[in-house]
Structure 1
Amino acid sequence: MVYTVASPDEYLAVTGAGIRTVKITKSAWVWPLQRCQRFSIQPHDYSMNLQAMTREKLQFLLPVVFTVGPYVNQKGVIDGQTTRDSPDADLTHAPAPEDRGDALMKYAMLLSEGEQKKGVTKSQHIENIVKGIIEGETRVLVSSMTMEEIFTEREEFKKRIFRNIQGELGQFGLKIYNANVKELRDAPQSSYFESLSRKAHEGAINQARIDVAEAQRRGNVGEAQRQGEQNREIAKINAETAVQKTERDSERAQAEATLATRKTVFNRDVSIAQIEATRATESRDEELRKEVEVKRAFTELERLRASDVVKATILREAKQQAADAKLYEEQAKANAALFSEQKAADARAYTLRIQAEANFMAAAKEAEAQLVRQQKEAAGLSAMAAAYSDLSAAFGGPSGLIQYMMIEKGIYQQMAKHNAEAVRGLNPKMTIWNTGAQAGSEGGEASGSGTGMGGVESIRNMYQMLPPLMSTINEQTGIVLPEWQFGKLAGQMSEQERTGKKVKGLGANGTEHA
């Protein structure tokens, strides 16, 4: 346990046992399992030469200097308790409560985050964050303004930069104490400001020449008058200078008195803090002595209790050993019975395994016999196929072999029998007609000459066959064929035969053509 006091420009960040997050204070007792870290609250200057671009796409260099440091907010009453920074604080009875959510807690967490990064110090970590925020917010603001707005609204431009950057730094517990925007300069490969300066310079020179000429014109006229006025003004200025010097001396004396007063108050506060720390140390010493006495009495009481506990423990162990011996005996009997049952079960398992192996061997032999039987049948089929092949060669091919087998097995007789059974009981109507050389002619003339497809006689025979064929189909099936004029065709052919006219040729529709 160590009592730690921070210097005037420092604070203590205490973490560990008994503290939920971080306790920010100026002095504290650091207990075991706790950690105390000092951190300075001095602001630092961050100088940057930013390269930005306006809304008209004009690039320029913007030198800025920001003074940034942790925001030391005033602490007062928290949840009805008096803190160390309150003038009514009683350091002996009111320990400093945890700093809940203020800027110093955020700043302490930011420092701890910088310690976790390898190769980066705490100051470098904070500098990277601050410069990144300043650069980003400044570029965003400049990109929304024109160059003319930046020049004419210089003060407003500075306020907007200050407001935007402070809004981002606030989340890290940082505050901008001062912001200084220097004169704008040309970016590399840019001569915008140089051109403006040259323009202003030339205009100033021309205006100076005009003013010189005008002054020379009026100088000679008013030289005497100016000389008198000059003497009067000199006297007046000397008088005012004496008055101002007196006022400055008075202000300096007042400032020195104020400084001395503040030093006195500060020294008084330091002395009071040292006295309070001494009293707190003495009070804590008394409390520790009291705790030692209480612990000594408690130890004696425990020693007396321990003697009784040892006796009870010995008695309990004796009973426990007797119970263990009885339990061991019963367990040995149970193990013997279990061993006997295991032996009997092993014997039954061996018997079942022997029976299973015998059944497997019998099944294997049966399968081998089945395989041999199938191989014999396959050999018989192969021999039969070879015999059929020889028969096929003997009968002149597979068709001759098939006819031989159908005759041998009586297939033809069976077919005739089945055909007869199929037409048994039917009364078919049979029509016979002659289409020979003597059909349809009285003299038995026949023309041996032919034209077209087979001659006149062949065509006549074919057409003589069609009418009775169609009539038979109609009588047997009831189907009426399309009117090809078969009846008329037959009548015309009979008339031609009677008249002895020769037919030269007929088309598919029954018309005559050469």
Structure 2
Amino acid sequence: MSYLIAKPSEYIVITGRGIDDVKLAKKGWVYPLQSSWKFDISPMNYTFDVQAMSIEKLPFTLPAVFTIGPRDDEESLTKYAKLIATHDMSGRHVTELLKGIIEGETRVLAAGMTMEEVFKGAEYFKQEVFDKVQVELDQFGLNIYNANIKQLVDIPGQEYFSYLGQKTQHEAANQAKVDVAEAKYKGDKGAKEREGLTLRNAAKVNAETKIFAKAQSAAARQQEVKVDAETIIFENKRAAEVAEANADLAQRQAEWTKQAKLAQIESEKSSAIRDAEMNMLLEQKKALAETERLRGHDVAKATVHYEVSVQGANAEFYKQQKEADAQLYKRQTQAEGLQKEADAHLYRQNKESDALLYAKQKEAEGLQLMAEAQADYVRTMMAAFNGNRHGFHDYMMVDRKVYQEMGAINADAIKGLRPKVSVWTTGSNGSNVEGSAQPLADIYMMIPPLLDTIREQTDPRPRSRPIPSGVVSSAEVWS
């Protein structure tokens, strides 16, 4: 039996009698029929030259340095303790195990990538190798603390990266020559292209600005409709809360009024009762005094008078008490009626407020649904017209019969009017004059029908002679 103590970076593993699997400890007793050993959890560096091949069957060497050590938790340490039960961490067995896992995962990953992808995506390639190797090391309780993949190296006899560097140098030199030639060419036409580009960009910016302004206007309108609906809902809620507060205040005021009136009635009646009692006591004292005074002279007469007085006082007190009870009952009945009336009024106001709020909510929902349906309809029709707003506008005017209504309105506007139309001709067929006198003849022929037309259409005086039916007036037709 021995007592063992581990160093700060060490753990003690104990197996044997009384232990089902293994026991980890920093210090403890090792009893007979038990065995123990220590292991260090400090990470170690492992250097590998991984041989891999790309998807184009191009081999390359991947120098890598991994810093690997066990995780400091019970489950991982138990797995790690079983791994090195017969080998230490720096032994050949563990090194070969790690090398096999790293080379296997690296080769599988490189076989699915081109050489160009491996070369350009070094960080991605490194992270993928790191993640896939870590998954395999989890089953041994190991963790990769750091992984450093160095520059890819050619395999002897396969100078891919060397040739790639030479290719890059030659391409850079050739590109420099091309750049010089293009710079001269661009210098000649750069000014013209810049002016054209400026005009095109200005037109593009103007178009985008108009589109953005339209979109912002539509969004602002939608937001305004939404805010209006929310404002109406909030106002309805506030009105309902105010109505509820007013009803509660009315109820409390009715209760306070009832209590005040009851207290006043009780006070008045108590005063009346006390007054009656004091009167009765006063009468009794007076009767006693009178009895004592007249005892020797007329005892019987005084006694009768006393009894009569007592009975009268009792009757008066009883009468006043009954009147007070009747008045109290009446006040209580009136207070109960006011309470019930206030409750009914409050209930009615609550129901009216609920109905109004519900109606406003449904109206807001209907407006929102109508706006959404109209927006969907407009978007669908604009898509059907391939964004042609003029075509969509003409379709809407025809579909909603706007043109028909405009025609009907114009027809109704002139309905009942009887315009007078006068037609005459001054052609050559109506005159035998020819040559230079023809214009004068036309003027003289135009004057009579013109005067007749003016008189017919503007003169309010009646005709001197009625025109028989079927006869065409010269003011109407002149030939």
Question: TM-score of the superposition, structure 2-length normalised?
Answer: 0.36
More helix by share: 2
